[in-house]
Structure 1
Amino acid sequence: MQPEWAGRPKLLAALNHAAAARLVTVIAPAGYGKSTLLALWHADPGRRRALAVLAVDTRDNDPVLLWSGILAALTAAAPGPQWAAVARLLRQTNPDIDTAVLPAMCAALASQAATTGLCLALDDCHLLTEPACHRQLAAFIAALPANCQLLVASRRNPPLRLARLRASGRLLEIGSGELRFGADDAAWLATTASAGTDLPADTAHALIEASEGWPVAVHLAARAMRHHADTTTVLAQLTARHGHLDDYITEEILDGLSREQAVALARTTVLERLTTGLAHAVAGDDLPDLDARHPNGLLLVPLDATGEWFRHHHLIQHALRRRLHRDEPHMLASLHRRAAAWLRTQDRTEDAIEHSLTAGDTATAITSIACAYMAAINTGRRATVRAWLDRLGNDTVAASAPAAITAAWVAAVSGDRPAVEHWLRIAEHCGHQGPLPDGTASVPSAAALVRAVFGFGGLKPMTEAAQIAVEQETDPTSPWYAMARTALGCAHYLNDESPAAIEPLRRATASHAATPMIRTLATGVLALAQHHLGQHEQAATTAAAAQQLAEHFGLQHAPQANMAYIAQAAVAAHQGKRDRARALLEQVLALRRRIPGLSPWPTLCALTQLAELQLNTGDHVGAAACITEARALFDELPDPHSPPLILLDRLDRHPRRPQRATRQATTLTAQEHALLRLLPAPMTLRQIAAHRRVSLNTIKTQTRAIYRKLGAANRAAAVTTARRHGLIP
């Protein structure tokens, strides 16, 4: 913290005495000292709560990145085991932010708040524009436990429904009026900046009048007074620049630098976040000394506790960037290329991608995206990958096989089946020869892996695709080797060909290159195949190993680990532990129903297994609901004679009493069933519509149909009726 920025005792006192506020907003234009206030509060010995600060950037519009950043900030501010469950949830392929991550985070905060209060501060929150992020923050505020609060620093009011908090006295609002300097502040700042020389009262008032109390202008003017015996000269310059203060700021910041240093400093403004090494790689050796931990007049804002990463003050960056665009517009693309090259050497591929895209270096960007997309998808950040592809544009993606394969994976994990085939066909006609940057052996192999893993085209195409991938992915040190064999083993198991499933699944589980998700999936399906073959002791051992893998890698709630728990359910049912088997299967189905876009096959396995278990225990209503749900999934697949469907037919013919609830279950459509399962959740119809990615009117129409078919007058009655008849848990 630069010494002349210390102070602001009234604001610090307000923050320290706002423990009852659930939300604190610090809203003002650039240059009013919002980030400085947070830094001052962080260093204030009078602060009574732990303070976690996240500097938001545009990438945080991916909800998974946002909440991962929040978790990192909380963990740094209050280390402890309480955050482990949240970290495991965020590592899943499709983290459920609304109904899993946020409750777990609030539970961890409650544990922390039992010993010491905590404030989470989000700086530059105006950079968040994604409605899902706003909705999640609003839910987070509503669920915050006692002794915890959220602070939002932004250039504009966030869409967080502040009226209720304001009316209840649980909102502290700090605006530009509170942040604006008065004459006393200006006098104190100028005295500090000029090493003890008192500023006359009339000069202080003149300074406030010229700057309108704008803190950054007051700071720069006070700094300039160090070098001017006549303060009226500084005031005259400031007044003359009124309305063009960024020019004034630029001149003050560059004062004392050589021309070469000024040029180099302006070049660093292409960077949103800097380290000394990155700044020098981009700007060259003429760059003046940069160190956010020591005063040098450059208004650098530290982004971590060590000061290794920092950023320019936004106002300074804006002013210097204007200078760069004016003086060296021809250098912009080159500077971004330099940044991308340095970041790649530091294994910061995702940051490098942003600079390559900004530079218009599409070839390098595509190669980097092809290397990074799977890691991003496996950690639930498909929105990030989709944003990269959007910046490339459909025409550019369609001209590149690696980019088209990436687009197919994003479509697959999003459940957009038509788009999957669209992009795979494009990739297959791009004429790309040889391996792809992601490590797959060829375009045919990469396309086959997508078709085999998700099985959207049915079991026969799924099996054929898996065989193609196995033939081409022959390198045991490649993760695609294990994925191909897992897909083939799954296809054989689903085709009622368990003997043929054993060998590829064993190879997959033995692969040291297999990702944790693939290894867990392969082990779970291997256990199911062994159980199907009557190898019950081996199946029990393998199923236990699959569950241990899921727990070891934190995948208990990941869809890819579902087959491990389906296998455990099969073992439990065989051992007569029917309640445990039912609980495991219902847990699997509850997870899969919350996440759209998943492969239908594990869901069908769980439904058919649960239906069989329910029939054997006399729960005909529950079995009918499972069979109806499974048939709705099959209606979307071109497999009229597949073994799972034959099993459903056999279960459907199982003798049972006709019941009214069965008729109710069969009259609901698949979409209505899916909506019915969400009605018990604490979500509005608007939130459900956003979750299911349909319009609010569609949800309202389906809700009215559910009420009519169940004979219910309202939502609560529909949920009660559905539960009474076993339509929902």
Structure 2
Amino acid sequence: MTFPLLTQAKLRVPRPHRRTIARRRVTRSLDAGGGRPLTVVCAPAGCGKTTALAQWVESADQPTAWLSLDAGDDDPRRLLAHLAAALGTVETEAAVEAQRALRDDADPFEEVLPRLLDGLEAAASADGFALVLDDLQHVRAPACHRLLEALIDALPPGARVVVATRSAPPLRLARRRAAGTVTEVGPRTLAFRPAESERLLNGALRLALSREQLAAVEERVGGWPAGLALVADSLPPEPDDARFRQALARSRADVDAYLGEELLDQLDPELRTFLRRTSILARLDASLCAAVLDAPAAGELLERARRSNLVASNPEPDADHDGAGGSLRCDRLLAQLLRRELHAREPQLVGALHLRASRWLDASGRVEEAIAHAGAAGDGRAAAALVHRHGETLMRARRYATVRRLIDAIPPERGEFGPYCRALGLLAGGLDGALSPAELDAGFRALRDRSDAPGVEALVERCLTLPFFGRVAESVQRGRALFARVREQPLPARAAIAANLGMALWFAGESGAARSLLEAHLDATAGRHRGWALATLALVAVDDRREERALAHAGAALAHVRGEAPALDHAYVHQAVAAVARAAGLRADAERELARAARLTRRVPGSLHDALTLLLRAELELDRGERCAARESAAAARAIVDDHLDAGIVEPRLAAVEAALARDGDELLGTSPTRAERRVLALLPSELSRRQIAAALYLSSDTVGTHLRRIYRRLGVGSRAEAVAVARARGLLDPVRGEIADRPTAVEGAAPGANSPR
């Protein structure tokens, strides 16, 4: 039947465009609302609401009526006439009666709607039915909303209303959520997932894009259906990389034009200005927006934007429900367009907006964002000052990659805190495994010339007490000097230095001193330093053959890092736990912890971190009788240890493994001394004692003793005098001056006194 007030096209279900595919996942989300009287599909323009509903209607197993709304429906009598006409496809007689009553000027609420609902009872009781209302955002009159509420609330069992809208409809959704009578489908559900995008682009559209090209499309539009269609239109079939990049770049203009026409141009100037100026913010809340805009009423504009679906809450990851809750954010593509508009229209405001955001975020404890906004404002001094104030907090939370990213983004003019930023970035890079110990050592030593800058001396000196730079005796010396200087500082500050020094003492073979120092400060030790302290105490207990205590400290160390993202500073904990497990005969546990340590220490191959893991593995393999595997691990560890000036206790323990692996005579006999051994050999003709040689080379006495034993084995001698004679005969020492024949100085470029601590 034809009604005079209606265009029949409004009742037809739109045909899906060729640039789409059937998505059963989305259809199931709409099916899930079958037991509830209202389903709301709410999303911005271009999210594929109409297409999703049209596909759902095609697959529906119950009668479905369709009504496409427009601005002309923003009148209760006209809206009710069109509702009746749509429902006439389900129950003709009831629709005719409703139309006749409207022409007789009957009251829409008191007479027409009740007649229509009474007539729909039979249709609902048979198979049920659904009424789809597309583009509900055009209906704004309160009387129209009351009419729809009355319709939904009085629907007979088995009937449902499904609405599609760009903004949240005023249909008392909060009450319906509490009562469980509404199903909501939002942008996250409607967005194409990567596999669906591939099925569309390479399946339906036959573009034959590579994996890398598909990833680039995903990065550009993030599953936004309209964006996918616009990008697809710009792409030729089977594009090579150059043509693909050109087409993708061109598509940005199409996306911007779509967003401008469908979203921004529909806004009033006040709301558009609000969105443009707050586009610098990743997360939105009323107080922050008010501070950035210096406008107390910003919260009202934010609420308008939320109701218009221009900003949305951040749901839980992978949640299919797009309801309220969480922080607000603007769609990524829209935010990018708004930021470009801000820089084009109001470039003079950009810096001020970022600085206001930085100050508010700093005061609110959102440190990372505060630093990032100060840097984005171009104020390197302000950003560096924030790093100086909060850097330790971020480091205690093990946000190493974040610290490096924030520091790298700060403009180069950083003022007095620039050297501190450099030092903290080095430390973060070392703990994250992004920088090698050699790079860290060079960087920290270069910064010693800037020790007068705020915070630099303490940070650099504290880092140089770590043993992993391969100067263990020097690390101990520095650590003791630094610890003596901070005796008057608060206990937590002393405890952090004690943790570093205790670790260096264990590496130097001074287990008793490490135990005394760490036990005195353990209760005040926090963050990564506590994990290190517990790990060192576990290793000391192994040395002392106190298995019960070793297991207790190892368990506490492992519990301290459990649940955190793996970081290089966790490797020492896993190494210690492996050593304890091996000593306790728990070889499977030791293997598991060594595997964990190896995954971390492999980030810095050639480091003492890596050498310690390889040594512990060689010891475990030797226990198991796996001599070939142990030989490989020991050889890999030796290649690393010989490249360090002083590997501390790692050197004699590795030598012990090598000695245990020797068969049928000494495998070292006749082989050439390593670089580390040649440094010791160069000083043998002198009058220096073993202890004095150790001091001259910044090595421990035990390390020099290990080098001497290996030199004797290589030369086949039993005394120092014999070693000098044989070395001269072989051309390893200069026959006149007693130095290494092919070396310019006795210590390979570092004469005694060089690199000594200030």
TM-score tier, shorter chain, comes to 0.5 to 0.7
Letter paired with 1:521: W
- Say if 2:367 is the partner of 1:355: no
Q: Which residue of 2 aligns with 1:198?
A: none
- Say if 2:333 is the partner of 1:282: no
Letter paired with 1:595: R
Matched-pair contact (CA < 8 Å) for 2:230–2:255: no
Q: Give, in whole Å, the separation in 2 of the partners of 1:486 and 1:473.
A: 14
Shift in CA distance, 591/416, structure 1 to aligned 2, threshold 3 Å: closer
- CA deviations on 1:216-239 (whole Å, 9 max, x unpaired) are 46646xxxxxxxxxxxxxxxxxxx
Match of 1:310 among 318, 328, 350: 328
Match of 1:646 among 633, 647, 652: 652
- CA deviations on 1:43-96 (whole Å, 9 max, x unpaired) are 999799xxxxxxxxxxxxxxxxxxxxxxxxxxxxxxxxxxxxxxxxxxxxxxxx
Matched-pair contact (CA < 8 Å) for 2:587–2:620: no
Q: Give, in whole Å, the separation in 2 of the partners of 1:8 and 1:530.
A: 76
User: TM-score scaled to structure 1, two decimals?
Assistant: 0.53
Letter paired with 1:481: R
Shift in CA distance, 598/616, structure 1 to aligned 2, threshold 3 Å: closer
SS at match of 2:469: coil
Q: Give 1:501 deviation, angstroms.
A: 0.7
Q: Which residue of 1 aligns with 2:643?
A: 636
- Say if 2:211 is the partner of 1:160: yes
Q: Give, in whole Å, the separation in 2 of the partners of 1:541 and 1:394.
A: 48
Q: Which moved more, 1:316-325 or 1:488-497?
A: 316-325
Give matches, 1:385-534, under 5 Å. Answer: 385-392=403-410, 396=414, 400-413=418-431, 414-430=434-450, 432=452, 436=455, 443-453=456-466, 455-474=468-487, 480-511=493-524, 513-515=525-527, 517-534=528-545
Q: Give, in whole Å, the separation in 2 of the partners of 1:449 and 1:8.
A: 69
Q: Give 1:497 deviation, angstroms.
A: 1.0
Letter paired with 1:643: I
Match of 1:614 among 621, 627, 633: 621
Q: Which residue of 1 aligns with 2:608?
A: 600
Q: Give 1:288 deviation, angstroms.
A: 7.8
Matched-pair contact (CA < 8 Å) for 1:459–1:495: yes
Q: Give, in whole Å, the separation in 2 of the partners of 1:506 and 1:613.
A: 28
Q: Which moved more, 1:270-279 or 1:393-402?
A: 393-402
Match of 1:254 among 268, 273, 280: 268
Q: Give, in whole Å, the separation in 2 of the partners of 1:570 and 1:334.
A: 55
- Say if 2:550 is the partner of 1:536: no
**Structure having greater relative contact order (Cα 8 Å, sep ≥ 6):** 1
- CA deviations on 1:296-336 (whole Å, 9 max, x unpaired) are 66833444453664345667656765665566543332221
User: TM-score scaled to structure 2, two decimals?
Assistant: 0.51
Q: Which residue of 1 aligns with 2:348?
A: 330
SS at match of 2:466: helix
Letter paired with 1:651: V
Matched-pair contact (CA < 8 Å) for 2:423–2:447: yes
Q: Give, in whole Å, the separation in 2 of the partners of 1:376 and 1:597.
A: 26
Matched-pair contact (CA < 8 Å) for 1:353–1:368: yes
Matched-pair contact (CA < 8 Å) for 1:528–1:570: yes
Q: Which residue of 1 aligns with 2:569?
A: 560
Q: Give 1:412 deviation, angstroms.
A: 2.1
Q: Give, in whole Å, the separation in 2 of the partners of 1:157 and 1:266.
A: 38
Q: Give, in whole Å, the separation in 2 of the partners of 1:474 and 1:39.
A: 67
SS at match of 1:290: helix
Shift in CA distance, 358/598, structure 1 to aligned 2, threshold 3 Å: farther
Matched-pair contact (CA < 8 Å) for 1:385–1:410: yes
Q: Give, in whole Å, the separation in 2 of the partners of 1:44 and 1:550.
A: 52
Q: Flag structure 2 segments of 5+ consecutive residues without an equivalent.
A: 1-12, 28-42, 60-184, 202-206, 218-222, 232-253, 316-322, 675-758
Superposition RMSD on alpha carbons, in Å? 5.3
Q: Give 1:343 deviation, angstroms.
A: 1.1
Q: Which residue of 2 aligns with 1:692?
A: none
Matched-pair contact (CA < 8 Å) for 1:508–1:514: no
Q: Give 1:638 deviation, angstroms.
A: 0.9
Q: Which residue of 2 aligns with 1:169?
A: none
Shift in CA distance, 426/150, structure 1 to aligned 2, threshold 3 Å: farther
- CA deviations on 1:664-723 (whole Å, 9 max, x unpaired) are xx99x9xxxxxxxxxxxxxxxxxxxxxxxxxxxxxxxxxxxxxxxxxxxxxxxxxxxxxx
SS at match of 2:301: coil
Q: Give 1:655 deviation, angstroms.
A: 5.4
| Structure ID, larger Rg | 2
Matched-pair contact (CA < 8 Å) for 1:588–1:606: no
- CA deviations on 1:84-122 (whole Å, 9 max, x unpaired) are xxxxxxxxxxxxxxxxxxxxxxxxxxxxxxxxxx99969
Matched-pair contact (CA < 8 Å) for 2:561–2:570: yes
Letter paired with 1:274: L
Matched-pair contact (CA < 8 Å) for 2:538–2:550: yes
Q: Give 1:337 deviation, angstroms.
A: 0.8
Q: Which residue of 2 aligns with 1:37?
A: 47
- Say if 2:556 is the partner of 1:545: yes
Matched-pair contact (CA < 8 Å) for 1:119–1:149: no
SS at match of 2:376: helix
Q: Give 1:634 deviation, angstroms.
A: 1.0
Q: Which moved more, 1:642-651 or 1:476-485?
A: 476-485
Q: Which residue of 2 aligns with 1:587?
A: 595
Matched-pair contact (CA < 8 Å) for 1:120–1:149: no
Q: Give, in whole Å, the separation in 1 of the partners of 2:439 and 2:411.
A: 15
Q: Give 1:409 deviation, angstroms.
A: 1.1
Q: Give, in whole Å, the separation in 1 of the partners of 2:589 and 2:340.
A: 65
Q: Give, in whole Å, the separation in 1 of the partners of 2:520 and 2:51.
A: 56
Q: Give 1:583 deviation, angstroms.
A: 2.0
Q: Which residue of 2 aligns with 1:199?
A: none
Letter paired with 1:336: H
Matched-pair contact (CA < 8 Å) for 2:601–2:613: no
Letter paired with 1:496: G
Shift in CA distance, 580/38, structure 1 to aligned 2, threshold 3 Å: farther
Matched-pair contact (CA < 8 Å) for 1:489–1:525: yes
Shift in CA distance, 475/148, structure 1 to aligned 2, threshold 3 Å: farther
Q: Give, in whole Å, the separation in 2 of the partners of 1:177 and 1:612.
A: 57
Shift in CA distance, 585/410, structure 1 to aligned 2, threshold 3 Å: closer
Q: Give, in whole Å, the separation in 2 of the partners of 1:635 and 1:425.
A: 22
Q: Which residue of 2 aligns with 1:680?
A: none
Matched-pair contact (CA < 8 Å) for 2:401–2:429: no
Q: Give, in whole Å, the separation in 2 of the partners of 1:581 and 1:406.
A: 35
Q: Give, in whole Å, the separation in 1 of the partners of 2:632 and 2:373.
A: 51
Q: Give, in whole Å, the separation in 2 of the partners of 1:150 and 1:355.
A: 40
Q: Give 1:411 deviation, angstroms.
A: 3.8
Q: Which residue of 1 aligns with 2:130?
A: none
- Say if 2:637 is the partner of 1:627: no
Q: Give, in whole Å, the separation in 2 of the partners of 1:483 and 1:371.
A: 18
Matched-pair contact (CA < 8 Å) for 1:489–1:501: yes
Letter paired with 2:290: H
- CA deviations on 1:403-437 (whole Å, 9 max, x unpaired) are 12112213423233454244434543335466x3x
Q: Give 1:657 deviation, angstroms.
A: 4.0
Letter paired with 2:377: A
